[in-house]
Amino acid sequence: MASVSELARGEGLGRIQTILGEESSLLTHQSRTIPRDSLHLPGPDFVDRILIPSDRPPRVLGGLQRLFDTGRLARTGYVSILPVDQGIEHSAGASFAPNSENIVKLAIEGGCNAVASTLGVLGSVARRYAHRIPFIVKLNHNEFISYPNAFDQIRFASVKQAWDMGAAGVGATIYFGSEESKRQIQEVTAMFQQAHELGLFTVLWCYLRNAAFKTKDADYHLAADLSGQANHLGVTIEADIIKQKLPETNGGYTALNFGKTHKAVYSQLTTDNPIDLTRYQLASCYMGRAPLINSGGASSGEADLKEAVRTAVINKRAGGTGLISGRKAFQRPMKEGVGLLNAIQDVYLTKEITVA
């Protein structure tokens, strides 16, 4: 298995094929579900082509254009974002003991389009870095110091605080399907409205959270149909960018026997291929009018490089706009973290890798 230190070997598509190994068939899969021509796909003109007709204020469009014009992926229509808010959700020790270097510096050195983190982290370095790379301030978090642990996204920051520090955008999480989700939807809707009024773009972590979604047969938190519906709700409250976990299964509605869906979702609009499942997530984002970025997932050690490149290939070939990958890169020495971020970006820079 290729390691981060082996990134310098090989060029372009050949290197990516080597990293993928037995899963290199992902590079040749042809989707026959939702036609690519029916999607609003990424491109250097995405803001002009897709977002200009919307009700977004000019300053929001300007912030999104700055996002697309930053880093190694500048003017490609794709994004690579470094998020680190695990100091709240995983404890500071669990997050920063492996590497306590400046995460904003890693995002800049790694050629990212933006860095996303907490009010405290970004506020502590705002005067040094806010003009150099777009800041995305995460407004709510799931804190784990209360005992016993509860699972709820609560406000930690205000939109005004993000605006004051010079942030370009704000982010938030909704645990769709949870007991607290109705309150979270209302809170985030209000925060996103205020963000747009102040000229900040919005990123929504559209995660599912309900114990009933995980059965002995599958974890339907990662089902394409349920996560796609979460995406649809996120775009409905005018999230400018949707962040979602990569789907690993499907059929959540039918297996859990709730809600309403249509049999064509399973017979025509999806297959078991991860590219087709991710395309359904994208179609749920108003056919791509809101860009879909997938999360890089937790760090698992030596397999991180392959997992990150695999996720990027799936996202790009499905029609997605990029990755938001943090722990895999951050919990490494700076050089290795930069190498992993660059490997993700190389997928989007490789012209031979096209939308399926």
Which one of the listed residues 138, 243, 306, 316 is annotated catalytic?
243
The secondary structure of the chain in percent helix, strand, coil, rounded to multiples of 5, reads 45, 15, 40
Q: With CA atoms as reference, report the closest residue to 239 among 172, 178, 165.
A: 172
- Phi (first) and psi of residue 89, to 5 degrees: -85, -15
Residue 216: active-site member: no
- Residues near 161 by Cβ (< 8 Å), separated by ≥ 6? 119, 123, 137
Cβ–Cβ contacts within 10 Å for residue 272, how many? 9
Amino acid (one-letter) located at 171: G
CA distances from 140 to 86, 113, 160, 251, 269 (A): 12, 22, 14, 30, 34
CB 314 within 8 A of CB 16: no
Q: With CA atoms as reference, report the closest residue to 218 among 246, 244, 251.
A: 251
Active site amino acids: 243
